[in-house]
Amino acid sequence: MDSTNQLLKPVTAKINESGNIEIGGCDLVKLAEKYGTPLYVLDEETIRSVCRDYKNAFKNYPKVNMMYASKALCTMATSKLLFDEGFGFDVVSAGEIYTVYKAGVDMSRVLFNGNNKSFDELTLAIELGVGRISVDNFFELSLLNEIAKSHNKIVDILLRITPGIECHTHEYIQTGHLDSKFGFDLTQVDDAVELILNEYKNLKLHGLHAHIGSQIFETSVYGDEIEILIKEIARLDEKFSLKLDEINIGGGLGVKYTENDCPPSTYTIADIIIKRLDDCIKKYNIEPPALFIEPGRSVISTAGVTLYTVGSSKQVPKGKKYIAVDGGMADNPRPSMYQAKYVAGVANKKEVSSSKTVTIAGRFCESGDILIDGINLPELEEGDILCVYNTGAYNYSMASNYNRVQKPAMILVNNSQSDMLVKRETLEDLISHDEIPGRLKK
């Protein structure tokens, strides 16, 4: 069965009667006029569709907890929307913890993850009642127990392990292979468990956590990961009489950035995960554990587009035709970082048969600031509105103020209505944290 993460465009995307691209019942050209560009646009119907895909796909396993990976995109409004759809949250910083807290999320349904959590972050997590902390290393075990003891609390934890699985994705977004900065190596698990059982009395271990990467198209890796986790739980029970009842398999399911991308559906992944889980439960003779899944990109990416206004152009003699837009690597660093590829359309021009191959260049002072290298588009003119698809994940969350440029606004569209989620930064916002020492004012 197909699922929403396999779509290139939001589910509501279409060409309207004016010949413009429309999403969520809103004309993108009018949105650009109202809110300015660059502009992040999220389609509410697409987000809810993905959430329901996940819930329906996993409904046959009785103990499933969907945990949205907030690093993909974290705002108060998106957190509230996803919580309303039944998702918990995987967070990786004090900022993400505080955002979901202020959005009204039940903090018992939040898991704090990361390889170098600070004293202040762990303290905040305990004080706000975060439900699980996925402990990454020995230093964190000691630090967390110390903070929990000072608060007179027992903290519920998972151990994050490195399962030794490599998936075919960009090396910067692989996380489960042996040579990774994340998690306990399997040879270190026994030492960690002994510390928890014998010394760290303010920590309660519930299960194991692993994550194998991001933008994954392979299906077998999830089954391999489950086998490793269940086998390890059975081994720990045999050695320590330790009844662990939770496994967290992370997320990482891919999305369709270009026509050449063929990500598996959530239903395909669910069938593989549930079948392998059932097989391993019988094979290793353990009680069915609660299953935690952490989709991020596949929940939010397809729902998002970014609007830009076309500016200058340059034809290199016997070379490329560059079309510059009013954004680039500061609002979407992925092409520069990962060589990520995107598809775009012209929001204010009907789809026509004639087109030219152009390169979409950003406005920032870097030769590598290229959003799309080689794309066929209708003839572009200054003032046209370019719509880049599938930008909901890791664009806003990785955005910067490079070249001292303000970050874009973000809006949510649904049923012909648009609402502000994040205001556009102003020039005053840019300097609001600057200070000039008194000695320089003389």
pLDDT, mean over the chain: 94
Q: How many CA atoms lie within 13 A of 139 on its CB side?
A: 8
Average pLDDT of the residues in 104-125: 97
With pLDDT > 70 as the criterion, what percentage of the chain qualifies? 95
User: Mind telling me the catalytic residues?
Assistant: 365
Nearest to 4 by CA among 313, 294, 392: 392
- Could you give all domains of the chain from N- to C-terminal order, each with its CATH number? 4-42+301-431 (2.40.37.10), 44-300 (3.20.20.10)
* Helix (H) / strand (E) containing 133: strand 132-135
Q: Name the pLDDT band for 48 (thresholds 50, 70, 90).
A: very high
- 3-state secondary structure at position 230: helix
Q: CA 308 to CA 412: how far, in whole Å?
A: 17
- Phi-psi bin for 11: left (phi > 0), alpha (psi -120 to 50), beta? alpha
Which residues, at least 6 apart from 208, have a Cβ–Cβ distance to it below 8 Å?
Answer: 158, 159, 160, 161, 229, 232, 233, 244, 246, 247, 248
pLDDT on residue 176? 42
Which DSSP string do the residues of 76-125 spell out, in sequence order?
HHHHHHHHHTT-EEEE-SHHHHHHHHHTT--GGGEEE--SS--HHHHHHH
**Residue 273 CA to chain centroid, in angstroms?**
20
pLDDT on residue 178? 54
Cα angle vertex 45, ends 40, 49, to 5°? 120
pLDDT single digits (tens) 334-360: 999 989 999 999 999 866 666 899 999
Q: Name the pLDDT band for 430 (thresholds 50, 70, 90).
A: very high
Strand order in the sheet with 26-27: 14-15, 21-23, 26-27
Nearest to 120 by CA among 108, 109, 112: 112
* pLDDT at position 429 over 60: yes
Scanning 285-423, the segments in alpha helix (DSSP H) are 297-300, 334-338
* pLDDT at position 312 over 90: yes
- 3-state secondary structure at position 284: helix
- 3-state secondary structure at position 217: coil
* pLDDT at position 177 over 80: no
Average pLDDT of the residues in 123-137: 98
Average pLDDT of the residues in 131-153: 98
Q: CA 199 to CA 197: how far, in whole Å?
A: 6
